[in-house]
Amino acid sequence: MHYTIFDTPIIRPILAWLSIVILRLRGWKIEGEFPKIPKFVMIAVPHTSNWDFPITLGVCFALRAKIYWMGKASLFAGPLGPIMRWLGGIAVDRSKSNNLVQQMIDVFNNSQQLCVTIPPEGTRSKVQQWKTGFYHIAQGSQVPILLAYMDYQRKAAGFGPLFYPTGDMEKDIAEIQAFYKDVKGKNTHYQ
């Protein structure tokens, strides 16, 4: 994968220290541990605010974890493109939705180490059901799913268990969603 902010020698330790200080000052605590395995999909639930992204980056800097995230290709056009890639972005063509899962499986298969963060809601707005791309990517890449969360009510961001897809998508997603039943996003009216 490409060089990111998480690989930048001088900036990374400064941002780790700064993230720890800011998270503490804002009353946030980090729960659980970032896995020490080479490849996995990390789902981020709930995703109800633009604040989710900077807090997630702060948590990852504080833990010295390296993540990537998927973004629509238009975010990577023009002068913002290199910045988005440096922040860990992977450009995907969402107009070819059938191909999106395969695009990410190929990225996983061509990487020795990779954690891609995917919000199953697919948007910050309220949804009736999750998009299942994260599940298909994990299953197709034969990697586990890390259940990550950001609970604004408790001001706790963290990592739950690793979930290994069984192939019974309906049962697996119901089990994953049960983990998040008490987690509150910033904008709870979206949940």
Is-contact 150 55, C-beta < 8 A? yes
Residue with tokens 């910050």: 124
Query: Does residue 189 fall inside a structural domain?
Result: no
Task: Quote the domain boundaries for residue 109.
Answer: 5-182
Separation between Cα atoms, residue 31 and residue 97, nearest integer Å: 34
pLDDT at 97: 55
pLDDT at 190: 47
Separation between Cα atoms, residue 97 and residue 68, nearest integer Å: 19
Is-contact 162 146, C-beta < 8 A? yes
Query: Does residue 190 fall inside a structural domain?
Result: no
Domain total of the chain: 1
The tens place of each residue's pLDDT in the chain, 191 residues long, gives: 678 999 999 999 999 999 999 999 999 999 999 999 999 999 988 766 778 888 888 999 999 899 998 888 888 999 999 999 998 999 887 665 558 889 899 999 999 999 999 888 654 455 567 888 899 999 999 999 999 998 988 999 999 999 999 999 999 999 999 999 888 877 665 44
pLDDT at 118: 87
What would the two tokens of residue 62 be? 């504080």
φ, ψ dihedrals at 102, nearest 5°? -65, -35
Is-contact 90 111, C-beta < 8 A? no
Separation between Cα atoms, residue 76 and residue 71, nearest integer Å: 8
Output the CA angle 90-91-97, nearest 5 degrees. 115
Residues in contact with 85: Cβ distance below 8 Å, sequence separation at least 6, in sequence order: 2, 4, 76, 91
Separation between Cα atoms, residue 82 and residue 85, nearest integer Å: 5
CA distances from 76 to 55, 103, 180 (A): 21, 16, 31
**CA within 13 Å, CB half, 145:** 29
pLDDT at 65: 92
**Strand bridging mode 89-92 / 29-31:** unpaired
pLDDT at 42: 95
Query: Does residue 188 fall inside a structural domain?
Result: no
Virtual torsion, Cα 170, 181, 65, 10, nearest 10 deg: 130
pLDDT at 185: 75
